[in-house]
Amino acid sequence: MATTAVNRELVRVIAEEMAYGVETAVEHWMAQVDMALTDMHLTTLGRLNAIREVVESYKHLTGKDRLECGTELDS
């Protein structure tokens, strides 16, 4: 019984740490996108290119060639 409680607590702690890591990463990328969108020194095309650079940086760092949406978009 005690082992089960310890295992559940360990799983809970690991899940919380993973969730925190994901939240921190998403916050980082969203902050970069926000900075690109709100940079008044950039033109509209410049903002779009800055966001594209954020996406390309993410893909490079993660080793991904393309990103998956996870849901079907209506055509």
37 within some domain: yes
67 within some domain: no
70 within some domain: no
27 within some domain: yes
Pairwise CA distance, residues 16 & 50, whole Å? 32
Which pLDDT does position 72 carry in this prediction?
62
- Cα distances (angstroms) measured from residue 44 to each of 31, 38, 53, 55: 18, 10, 14, 17
27-69, pLDDT tens digit by residue?
A: 999 999 999 999 999 999 999 999 999 999 999 999 999 988 8
Pairwise CA distance, residues 42 & 45, whole Å? 8
5 within some domain: no
